[in-house]
Structure 1
Amino acid sequence: MHTTFSSIAPGRVHRWGGAALVVARRPDLHRAPLLSPAEQCVVRALPAWRQAEWLAGRLLAKRLVSEVLAAPTNNVEILPRDDGSPYVVVSGSPMPAVNVSISHTAHHIAAALAPEPVGVDLCETVSAAAVRRVADHILSPGERSVFDTDVGADRPEAMAAAWALKEAAVKADRSGLFGSAPRRMVILGLRPPVLSGRRRAMVWQAGDAVLALVLAYPCHAATQPRTSRMPL
């Protein structure tokens, strides 16, 4: 089957641009992770329909942190900030130099780690029609023409990639898809993906979904040397 984007294999850690990324099928994450007391409080506060995907996402993210940082999985916590974005705690100590992002669809889960702010997002190609209906809220006419040139605007992968890139970008910036934030993150190219500002991006095909990864650099990164204690 022809795919617009390169395929990414599930179940193993991939490296791209200094980030570590893993995607898994939902049925493969049937075992609940061991939760800390703080994580148990978080999951108990969620509605029942949300708990299963939250647990699957934390299980995958904990495995990724454990592999990248060589830390026992049981010592890893993934907790929410006040704005809802996740952060990493290892053996009771927050890890400010480790950024994490998690995404879910009905069939897949993805998690990413990076020294820089990172966002990861999955969008199923069957959601392309829904994305088209809200495209005017997140895409400019110029971006739509980019898709038509690079891929073909009518292809479901194009719309899925557009949504995934915007969602991953706002996650990396710790903002949201509501309001003006998506419009400020302009998609300049789709194959390969190019975003405005100090952002790098990549897109893959993950089964019936498109997976986007965005790395965002803080403003001071242009004048300060890049350092990291992450073994990436």
Structure 2
Amino acid sequence: MDTAVMHTAFRPIAPGEVHRWGGAALLAARRSDLRTAPPLSPAELRVARALPDRRRADWLAGRLLVKLLAREAFTAPAYEVEVLPRADGSPYLLVGGSPVPGLHVSISHTARHVAAALAPEPVGVDLCETASAPLVRRVTDHVFSPRELSLIGTERPEALAGAWALKEAAVKADRSGVFGPAPRRIEILGLGPPVLGGRRRAMAWRTGDALLALVLARP
């Protein structure tokens, strides 16, 4: 394994606190700490009711965090803040029924964690639990290049989870998908701190037993 990987350490990020990086506002939380449901608009209710129960719980948790972030950015009450899906499934933000120009949103969730980010440029956020490292290991040849694998290694769960979260966050910022050719076009140049190829800025943290990545992609 590359010695750079052996010394990679992801800084912890406190759950439930708004964190700012690179102009983005980021909020991560433990699912068990989310005890209230977000206020939903009629349009959001229609989306939520069409989802299966487990998917609805994920959807509501992500919307709650976005609305908490938006509360800091706008004076509008929470029920006027809407997070609706585009045709490709990516979320976008409305306040008072109107899209907010120049503000981008991203959401991620796992079985135990949820995260959301707002930013003035295309943004992607992703969570990957260290327990998912064996699943990531099965698809390394699809997602990572041989050069990236020599940097990341395949034996350290934290490095694999962090690298996966970075790739997933990057394709979200690009509004593409992790299961197509897009991940191989986004090169990880470093993990500590994260460095990606192209016009992208990236950072990663540990929250609980998950790795959290944030990617900002300049248009």
Q: Following TM superposition, by how much is the alpha carbon of 1:40 offset from its aligned partner in structure 2, in angstroms?
A: 0.6
Q: 1:24 aligned to 2:40? A: no
- Could you tell me which runs of 5 or more consecutive residues in structure 2 were left unpaired when the two chains were aligned: 1-6
1:118 is matched with which residue? 123
Aligned residue for 1:179, secondary structure, equals: coil
* CA distance, structure 1, for counterparts of residue 50 and residue 183 of structure 2: 29
Q: Distance in 1 between matches of 2:182 and 2:100?
A: 27
The Cα offsets for residues 143-167 of structure 1, whole Å up to 9 and x where unpaired, read as 011224xxxx421111001110010
Aligned length, in residue pairs = 213
**CA, structure 1 residues 146+70, in 2 after alignment: closer, same or farther (shift >3 Å)?**
farther
Task: Report the counterpart of residue 172 of structure 1 in structure 2.
Answer: 173
Partner residue, 2:61:
56
Matched letter for residue 46 of structure 1 = L
- Whole-angstrom CA distance in 2 between matches of 1:165 and 1:51: 25
1:201 aligned to 2:206? no
Match of 1:74 in 2: 79
Aligned Cα root-mean-square deviation (Å): 1.3
Q: TM-score, normalised by structure 2?
A: 0.94
Is the 8 Å Cα contact of residues 8 and 192 (structure 2) preserved in structure 1? no
Partner of 1:137: 142
- Secondary structure at the residue paired with 2:37? coil
Judging changes above 3 Å, is the alpha-carbon distance between structure 1 residues 3 and 178 closer, same or farther for their aligned structure 2 residues? closer
Structure 1 position 3, deviation (Å): 8.3
> Any idea what SS the aligned residue of 2:204 has?
strand
Segments of 5+ residues of structure 1 without an aligned counterpart are: 219-232
SS of residue paired to 1:33: coil
Say whether the 8 Å CA contact 1:3–1:205 is kept in structure 2: no
Counterpart of 1:226 in structure 2 is none
